[in-house]
Amino acid sequence: MKKKYWLKLAYKWRVFLYFLHGHSVKGLMTAGKPCQVEDPTVSVTFGDVIHPCVRYIEEGFEGHKWWMVYTPYYGGNDKIENPRLCYADADNEPPTNWKFYCTIKDTPECGYNSDPTLLFFNEKLYVFWRECNTPKTREIGCGAATFGCYVKEKSVVYISVPQLVNLFSKNKGVEDNEVCPTIIKRNGKFYGYSMHHNFVPNFIYNIPSKIGSLLYKYHIFFILDALFGYKDLKNIGISIWVSSSLEHSFCYLKTIKIKNISRLYQPWHMDIFMSNDKYDNRLYAVIQSSIEFADICFAWSDDGELFNIYSPPLITTDSIGLAGIYKPSALLVGKKLYVYYTARDSNNNHLNRLFVTEIDWCNIIGKLGVNP
């Protein structure tokens, strides 16, 4: 009873914080349908799903139109955080039953994999993922980088060079400008979009190291986030990269701050997509608002650089009845916007489950005051 009491009290306080900052605790989208994902290593990963990236291929690839890459992350175990490719078949609705295709990258000797993304181009299905402190990143002299491959008949062909390389690896090891990348083709070029973060507050370096260690040991920043929305991680903005080829390294252009961010938010992960209307050149994004206590927000960019967050959010804990909302993936098929997201299992706090929800595209785009 005591635990339930404190959980209710914490939720009421969160509602008050939202009210204080002019937020709605209700999202625009309803709770999603649960998805089943075939898992050949369920005894190790427990069917955990996180970091989904879902793409719809109109012409199909190897007989299937729906494809997804994700990583398991049961109980925060980054040793199993290895990208896996799945496919699905469905007509007139988003699929909820996914079949295993292949593992893209196994556990490295050291470090870990994360943040996969998909792009179908020139009859090839490309998969990209991040590696952190692995032998490959050490070989190129950085702490984190995005690598890629393409798949064909369940075989994986790796690209020899990294696509994105964290340019700030030597900045005390806490700044990273290629978190959770999305790679798209736009205006005849390939663009990479990734989150740019500073993982540790600057003041930490101006206080005794023992005090700084205690702040993290006793989860002080987590408590400050829960009570006041103060986060140790700071989002610097969205990094933009460009390349003439998917199989070459991308050139970093700049990082641009996201507009209209609430003080309760420090955007963490995202997925970027385009409209299927050839006259709509905007970019759209679904953004996880924070690492903890997250909402899923909708954002758009008229010029492919400056992103504006729309309020209210698409998905909130209140609107789906589950906590632990994590990185979403969005795609526009016909006149429906589909959003895949993960949330913690209501009976197992270590397990992340996959869900999909939908909304009419006109309901979203019309609120922005632009033509659908």
Each residue's pLDDT tens digit, 185-201? 998 999 999 999 998 87
> How far, in Å, CA of 25 to CA of 293, rounded?
12
Can you give the pLDDT at residue 170? 55
Task: Measure the CA dihedral 138/173/196/342, to 10°.
Answer: 80
CATH superfamily of the domain spanning 2-368? Glycosyl hydrolase domain; family 43 (2.115.10.20)
Helix (H) or strand (E) holding 42, with range, is: helix 42-45
> How far, in Å, CA of 225 to CA of 166, rounded?
27
> How far, in Å, CA of 117 to CA of 327, rounded?
12
Omega prior to 312 cis, within 30 of 0: yes
Spell out the domain ranges in the chain: 2-368
Question: Going by C-beta distance under 8 Å and a sequence separation of 6 or more, which residues neighbour residue 164?
Answer: 145, 146, 178, 181, 192, 194, 241, 249, 250, 252
Can you give the pLDDT at residue 371? 53
> How far, in Å, CA of 212 to CA of 133, rounded?
23
Can you give the pLDDT at residue 38? 97
Can you give the pLDDT at residue 311? 83
> How far, in Å, CA of 83 to CA of 62, rounded?
19
> How far, in Å, CA of 21 to CA of 3, rounded?
27
Taking phi over 0 as left and psi of -120 to 50 as alpha, with beta for the rest, 369 belongs to left
Q: Which tokens in the block code for residue 180?
A: 């959770």
pTM: 0.92
Full strand arrangement of the beta sheet holding 175-186: 175-186, 189-198, 234-243, 251-256
Can you give the pLDDT at residue 1? 43
Q: Which tokens in the block code for residue 264?
A: 């309760």
- CA 278 to chain CA centroid, Å, is 26
Which positions of the chain have pLDDT values less than 70?
1-11, 169-173, 218, 368-372
Q: What would the pLDDT profile of 317-327 be if each residue is shown by its tens digit?
A: 989 999 899 99
